[in-house]
Amino acid sequence: MRAGTSAVESAAQLLAAVRAGGGPPTHVAVIMDGNGRWAYEHGLARWEGHREGMAAVRETVEGALEAGLAHLTLYAFSSENWSRPEEEVAALMDLLQEFVDSEKEDLRRNGVRVRVFGELDRLSESARAAVRDLEGHTREVGRMQLHLAISYGSRQEIVAALRTLAAEVARGELRPDAIDEERVAGALYTSEWPDPDLLIRTSGEMRISNFLLWQIAYAEIHVTDVLWPDFGRADLFRAILDFQGRERRFGGV
């Protein structure tokens, strides 16, 4: 933690420090972790931790707007999460649809364009329709882009990209030696937006968990012990202040 960012500082003070700090990162990505532990600590069912997690999503989006981020990516549901108990998966899908219903108006009013990426064909028809509705509803606004990774796994994404490029080679449309970083990046779900500058993970776990493996090559990483349902805009601002204090070298000196 940098000097001047003690836990007692208010969100407003932290935001002022972010604004004075020389520009926010363009793109922040977040691994939202700890909903289950939060529920356990409060004597609640796991799904109630996810419900509180949804409130933290709302708070984080508002904080991202205040900080002036251009892109915010949230890891909402991983490919591996499909192996959780059926009731938990169903609760997460219900929350997703509830999120669309309760937030889509505010998101549009606040200028947040939502884009959803992942293996969406694995979602139920109603969940898929809900996320498509959210994307359509916010398509015309552009103050900030909120990217939701749903049914997402980075290795699966890279495999799909390689298949796309291999098919182009097989059809004679692409020479193997024309495959470069730009081509690979262009075949990923995230091809239309910049890579994250800052990756935040909550609940203290030091893992990447199959999230944006290609895209975080040069991201700064900030891990906080805060469990996701307790994460608020002050925590986001602290992470950004931590980022602003880093020296980014991109492999140079």
Q: Which residues, other chains included, contact 24 with Cβ-Cβ below 8 Å and sequence gap of 6+?
A: 18, 67, 68, 69, 240, 244
Q: Which is nearer to ligand FPP, 37 or 246 (CB)?
A: 37
Binding-site size for ligand FPP (CB under 6 A) equals 19
Task: Give me the sheet containing 27-31, strands edge to edge.
Answer: 112-117, 144-152, 71-78, 27-31, 198-201, 220-223
User: Could you say whether residue 134 binds ligand FPP (CB under 6 A)?
Assistant: no
- Contact range with ligand FPP by CB under 6 A, out of 47-55, 111-119, 127-135, 218-226: 47-55
The HSE-up count of residue 112 (CA atoms within 13 Å, CB side) is 26
User: Could you say whether residue 67 binds ligand FPP (CB under 6 A)?
Assistant: no
Chain centroid to CA 156: 17
CB 162 within 8 A of CB 185: no
| Closest to 2 (Cα-Cα) out of 20, 15, 17, 19 | 17
Name the residues annotated as catalytic. 33, 81
User: Could you say whether residue 61 binds ligand FPP (CB under 6 A)?
Assistant: no
Q: Which is nearer to ligand FPP, 72 or 96 (CB)?
A: 96
Q: Interface mask (CB under 6 A) for ligand FPP, residues 163-202, using x and -?
A: ----------------------------------------
Candidates 14, 17, 29, 34; binder of ligand FPP (CB under 6 A) is 34
- What are 171's two structure tokens? 């059809």
Please report, as ranges, the residues that interact with ligand FPP according to CB under 6 A. 32-37, 50, 53-54, 57, 74, 76, 81, 95-96, 99, 148, 203, 228
